[in-house]
Structure 1
Amino acid sequence: MNFTAAAPAVWNPAFADAEDCLLSSDQCVVQGQHYFVKGLIEIPVIGGNEVFSWGVWVSLSRENFSRAADRWDTPGRESEKPYFGWLTTDLPVYSPTTLNLKTNVHTRPLGERPFVELEPTDHPLAVEQHTGITLDRVREIAAAVLHPAADG
């Protein structure tokens, strides 16, 4: 019920050894100029209590990234106001691209990934987040993600 991206779309493995770059399981910095956090786009599954989630990367301003990083291990961090960001994960099961969709990143209690709320638009991913998906749609997504060659 969860698929996740290992890095933001702009990450290049060549950055791994650069002093001004960082990629951890929760945060990413590219060339000391671009800042990202990992969060979850959660989509309710219609007819059940389950939630399907995408583990995605969102770019934040330098100020918001610093603020989030400063509070990363602070109890009560969930009281932070949401941070505006741009989705930087291309989820291939959606058209048009999911890159650069507007988001709000909601910090949650320690040990929980932030919740990524998409701006309400007519983009299929935003529609699914707000209206939910069927279990058949979950299976369709799983097949497309796990067996991409089967589509062509």
Structure 2
Amino acid sequence: MSATDAHQHTCACCAEPHDGPPLSYGSPAPVSWKSRYRLRRDSELTSDQCMIKGKHFYVHGLVEIPVRDSDETFSWGVWVSLSEDNFGRMHDLWEDPAREQEPPYFGWLSTELPVYPESTLLLKTHVRTREVGRRPLIELEPTEHPLAVEQREGITMDRVREFAGLLLRG
């Protein structure tokens, strides 16, 4: 990463330059997704939901982390596995404004975030649906895992810059 990268980046969503390091990173698919599944009728991957072999169900959401020394929020775009019943319910309500009233769904984190020394796979989560058009909020159960601690306590802009250094180099 060059010195200018730490002060400016091009946004993957809008393709515009922004000052400072990126405030979000994401994964295009759950860790168990394989490209060969695209050929299967019982498997599908969209930007929001995923089904593998008609047996494994996932939703794409955001782990949001407050940045303590700014007004910003940092986000990890992650995938969470859901039970078939919860996935079906979430899918049925996907475009329904009443979905915000749903209780949280239990799920297992299904994205490996390589910036943490401990695996992030299979951390217990609660998936909270939000208004139509916004990704669900992923809340980790309160453990001592560094990701859960950061979600509870927040991070600094130095930590955001550390993520950029780890994820954007090379």
TM over 0.5: yes
Q: How many Å apart are 1:146 and its aligned residue?
A: 1.3
Q: Which residue of 38, 42, 45 maps to 1:23?
A: 45
5 Å-filtered alignment, 1:130-145, equals: 130-145=152-167
Matches within 5 A, 1:1-152: 1-147=23-169, 149=170
Secondary structure (helix, strand or coil) at the match of 1:36 reads strand
* Equivalent AA in structure 2 for residue 140 of structure 1: E
Unaligned runs of 5+ in 2: 1-22
> Residue 142 of structure 1: CA displacement?
1.2
Deviation at 1:38, TM superposition (A): 0.3
Q: What residue in structure 1 maps to residue 11 of structure 2?
A: none
Greater helix share, 1 or 2? 1
For 1:142 and 1:129, the matched residues in 2 are separated by: 18
Equivalent position SS for 2:97 = coil
Shift in Å, 1:76: 2.0
Measure the CA separation in 1 of the matches of 2:50 and 2:168. Answer: 25
Q: Distance in 1 between matches of 2:153 and 2:85?
A: 32
Deviation of 1:25 after TM superposition, in Å, equals 0.2
RMSD of Structure 2 on Structure 1 (CA) = 0.6
Q: Is there any run of 5+ residues in structure 1 with no aligned partner, and where?
A: none
CA distance in 2, matches of 1:34, 1:112: 23
Distance 1:67 1:7 in 2: 21
**Partner AA of 2:39 in structure 1:** D
What CA distance in whole angstroms lies between the structure 1 residues aligned with 2:41 and 2:143? Answer: 38
Distance of 1:77 and 1:83 partners within structure 2: 12
> Across the two proteins, how many residue pairs are aligned to each other?
148
Query: Which 4+ residue blocks in structure 1 deviate beyond 3 angstroms?
Result: none
Structure possessing the higher radius of gyration over alpha carbons? 2
